[in-house]
């Protein structure tokens, strides 16, 4: 059984050297990836994508189309891996599960009054419980950024721990909404709180606020995961989400993950991309690498 922590167990979060982070990230972005490694990387990226639709205008038809794409990618591209999950609102979980569940693709659901997080704990717990009872394999919750920025760290910790308990066997991804946290020091502090409160993954963003998943933010969160692993031997996953729309940036993220955390994290059990458009660019790059010819974007569905 995993040890249950409380806010008093948290070590002091280290100050983040912003200049040092930027220099390190710049080196990751300058790496050249050759064709064979590039193809392996592109397939790995595809297998790590949480194909996502999280809009107020989502309809059963739109969710059904996205899920059909996830479930039947092999029909057109039999040598490619499936995406890791589809991510939807709680009201769409049952529908998504009915389509992708038999294909070994997980269903993730946002909860806790996504994207604002502005709701009482009772509402957030009910939101999460509804998603889990309807078949969600994973829950993507948002932290209370107002409480965090007001210094109410114990509130944020206890809220995450309460949601984790309701998740049961469903894995919990904790969204920090880093674009609202302002500084890398805050990103590091929020990462530590989420990890010690029981997060299975920490996630950058909802995709609704910019800047979202910058490599500087992701690097800072990876360092928090590294330090926790060095202290406890327990792995925590990472999910950059928002703004990663092209394969080149995704590959740079994989280089960074390998160097900071190691090969063990380079699979979809421990690393994900939250994306709505990344999959299409990855498919285009795979076909270009394989055939030498770019396909028109018209050959790929939007969802």
Contact 200, 172 (CB under 8 A): yes
Count of all residues that appear for the chain in the document = 303
Contact 204, 238 (CB under 8 A): no
State yes or no: is 239 an active-site residue.
yes
Distance between CA 146 and CA 118 in Å, rounded? Answer: 9
State yes or no: is 97 an active-site residue.
no
Give, in order, the Cα–Cα distances in Å from 35 to each of 32, 39, 40, 43, 272.
Answer: 10, 6, 9, 12, 23
In 3D space, the residue among 238, 234, 248 whose CA is nearest the CA of residue 272 turns out to be 238
Catalytic residue among 140, 200, 281, 303: 140
Contact 124, 113 (CB under 8 A): yes
300: left (phi over 0), alpha (psi -120 to 50) or beta: beta
What is Dmax (Cα atoms) for the chain? 57
Catalytic residue among 97, 239, 281, 303: 239
Distance between CA 69 and CA 63 in Å, rounded? Answer: 10
CB atoms within 10 A of CB 21: 18
State yes or no: is 303 an active-site residue.
no
SS3 201: strand
Catalytic residue among 97, 203, 281, 303: 203
In 3D space, the residue among 172, 174, 138, 156 whose CA is nearest the CA of residue 52 turns out to be 138
For the annotated catalytic residues, the residue numbers are 140, 203, 239
């Amino acid at each position: 059984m995993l040890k249950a922590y409380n806010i008093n167990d948290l070590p002091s979060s280290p100050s983040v050297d912003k200049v040092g982070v930027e220099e390190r990230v710049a080196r990751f972005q300058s790496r050249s990836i050759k064709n064979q490694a590039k193809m392996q990387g592109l397939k790995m990226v595809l297998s790590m994508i949480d194909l996502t639709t999280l809009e107020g205008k989502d309809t059963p038809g739109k969710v059904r189309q996205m899920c059909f794409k996830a479930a039947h990618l092999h029909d057109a591209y039999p040598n490619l891996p499936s995406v890791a999950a589809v991510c939807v609102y709680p009201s769409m979980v049952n529908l998504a599960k009915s389509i992708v569940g038999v294909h070994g693709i997980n269903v993730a659901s946002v909860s806790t009054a996504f994207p604002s997080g502005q709701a009482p704990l009772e509402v957030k717990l009910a939101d999460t419980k509804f998603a889990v009872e309807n078949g969600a394999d994973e829950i993507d919750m948002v932290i209370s950024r107002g409480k965090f920025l007001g210094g109410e760290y114990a509130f944020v910790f206890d809220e995450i721990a309460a949601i984790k308990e309701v998740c049961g066997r469903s894995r919990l991804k904790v969204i920090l909404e880093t674009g609202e946290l302002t500084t890398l020091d805050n990103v590091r502090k929020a990462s530590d709180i989420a990890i010690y409160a029981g997060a299975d993954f920490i996630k950058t963003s909802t995709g609704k606020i910019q800047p979202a998943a910058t490599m500087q933010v992701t690097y800072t969160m990876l360092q928090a995961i590294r330090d926790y692993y060095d202290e406890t031997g327990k792995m925590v996953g990472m999910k950059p989400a928002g703004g990663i729309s092209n394969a080149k940036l995704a590959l740079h993220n994989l280089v960074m993950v390998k160097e900071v955390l190691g090969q063990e994290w380079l699979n979809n059990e421990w690393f994900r991309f939250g994306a709505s458009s990344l999959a299409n660019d990855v498919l285009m790059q795979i076909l270009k690498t394989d055939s030498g010819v770019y396909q028109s974007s018209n050959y790929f569905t939007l969802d």
